[in-house]
Structure 1
């Protein structure tokens, strides 16, 4: 996957809770994605997991499933790098309006910010930031605390990392690749957040609210900045320390370092609606949507804030994942946006790529029968 992937110790009694229809009545042979939820809990080392799938077919309700204690369909959770799809959408809207151009250089909008140690903002375009082909070092790899949860850096009193400080941390290191080569870097989207603010005079979060959240009525989605509390309702979030293996409750840990690269808080339903609307053409005109989905610059790996995944049945789904302290989420949708699935676990430990692919195939490959161990 193009995203870097960074339990309770008592035994869990895994119970499947079914709300909504049990399966799509027109496809009774479809392997239910819910069959994979217990494995998400075990292999993701999470106390609980949930998914919500919707399809724009008359008479067919959205399907929700969960397993494990204390997780609900309306829960707010931290969505991590799913934020990037929202940011990319706003940038392309601004390009459509002529406020900026994708071939503008970073230097055009943020003079002097990307400079030194082999970094040159005048040689990097906004297109390169959007497609992760800038070569910029990922600032999250330069953070001083190896385990911010244990050090207390992610707690309620944490001092947020400003976007400028994040960029300075990145450009204090040489580029990881030459411009034009794909290398996923959170620095790219922190810079895009700053570009949006410079181009519009308003913070990127304000632009996301007015351009996406309000029109689509995504009332469970917010961009809280570095504020720690999750809005209600929410389930608990957990983190297993890499230093001593201990489990920590990190529900109150805010996105102190994430910014435009990963601060979004959302719900299963809101993410389903957003990706359905985006791919369905409600947020971008056809030519700009095609640009968003063009993976040519990255060698087929990544578009602009979104990436494809080809399944074994030949279907390709589009979406993004989010990996942040206490939360892992994945949304995938068909190209027309009419069939969307979002699932999450309430730790930052992602399930394996094979399991994730199996779950997506159970949902999007009706002719493929998968045996659930």
Structure 2
């Protein structure tokens, strides 16, 4: 569809980069996408938060197998214990999505208001982490802690609270100090409740609010991202994502033991590590990264285990490309001819 824009940025440690676009950034004006255009990175926020959390582990301020109820404000800890029937959710289980906690985005009312036909009426409504957690804990857990992998945005919502409790600063402030500033990620930010994207940026489109119809798209560029919070509020650019992933996989952000832990998928049957997941390609190579999906934006970043070859790409519309198309892109990027 012409309303969907795909752009790809390939970066290597040698400094060689290729930037490609298809489609437009704005269907009304026909403006092309620019290499430093800002966009919502969705759940790639989780990889940044996981990095901050593992830095705290390396500093001995957290332990991976430490129960999180001792790392949260007392009312939050009590609510969590009641919801899990005193099951002791650990830091590791939040990081790898084996906590069993219900994802607040699966709540039917939340989904309808922010990801469905109610979006237009609720797009500028602000949320606190405590409010989102109450939504999650009103539902029975998917299962007991540690029993199985199930992706849950509630896990990283709680990690954001843990970071604040341990450091005395918000997760956004710690991410800026520990990741964004050292890597000079000038296009990356945590908007909080700010609805507008920083400039420069293109537009974002979705069939949301149109009864699911794909025949008509809505401009969803502006909305209050506090509904995603620590699970997905970050704004970034393709060059910044490449720089971040290359530094992370290359060992510039984490000591070797924590980086190994980040890529340990034992508890999830090979599906997810601690803020990263593997993609196994037909040429028997494995690349590591994360994707992000939020209203009007889909993005994925992937790289070789040493971080020397990375690729980031996005769509300015809802949902990922077809699996076959995404696999073909990664195969052409990472598999030798």
TM-score, with structure 1 as normaliser: 0.82
Query: Per the alignment, do residues 107 and 153 of structure 1 end up closer, same or farther by CA in structure 2, a change over 3 Å counting?
Result: farther
Query: Per the alignment, do residues 244 and 341 of structure 1 end up closer, same or farther by CA in structure 2, a change over 3 Å counting?
Result: closer
- The equivalent position to 1:64 in structure 2, one of 1, 8, 19, is 19
- The equivalent position to 2:184 in structure 1, one of 217, 239, 244, is 217
Q: Which residue of 2 aligns with 1:114?
A: 80
Regions of 4+ moved over 3 Å: none
Query: Per the alignment, do residues 237 and 105 of structure 1 end up closer, same or farther by CA in structure 2, a change over 3 Å counting?
Result: same
Determine the C-alpha separation between the residues in 2 that align with 1:159 and 1:50. Answer: 30
TM-score, with structure 2 as normaliser: 0.91
Structure 1: unaligned runs, 5 residues or longer? 1-6, 13-45, 368-373
- The equivalent position to 1:292 in structure 2, one of 258, 262, 278, is 262
Number of residue-to-residue matches in the alignment: 319
Using the TM superposition, name which of 322-331 and 106-115 deviates more.
106-115
Q: Secondary structure at the match of 2:333?
A: helix
- The equivalent position to 2:5 in structure 1, one of 41, 45, 48, is 48
Query: Per the alignment, do residues 154 and 108 of structure 1 end up closer, same or farther by CA in structure 2, a change over 3 Å counting?
Result: same
What do the CA deviations read for 1:303-324 (whole angstroms, capped 9, x no partner)?
0111000000011000000000
How much has 1:121 moved relative to structure 2?
5.8
RMSD: 1.5
> Would the aligned equivalents of 1:154 and 1:256 in 2 still touch at CA under 8 Å?
no
How much has 1:302 moved relative to structure 2?
0.3
- The equivalent position to 2:135 in structure 1, one of 127, 147, 169, is 169
Q: Secondary structure at the match of 2:70?
A: helix
> Would the aligned equivalents of 1:115 and 1:171 in 2 still touch at CA under 8 Å?
no
Within a 5 Å distance, the mapping from 1:77-96 to structure 2 comes to 77-96=39-58
Query: Per the alignment, do residues 313 and 123 of structure 1 end up closer, same or farther by CA in structure 2, a change over 3 Å counting?
Result: same
Determine the C-alpha separation between the residues in 1 that align with 2:122 and 2:194. Answer: 11
- The equivalent position to 1:98 in structure 2, one of 60, 64, 68, is 60
How much has 1:254 moved relative to structure 2?
2.9
Query: Per the alignment, do residues 153 and 143 of structure 1 end up closer, same or farther by CA in structure 2, a change over 3 Å counting?
Result: farther
How much has 1:47 moved relative to structure 2?
2.3
Determine the C-alpha separation between the residues in 2 that align with 1:244 and 1:296. Answer: 38
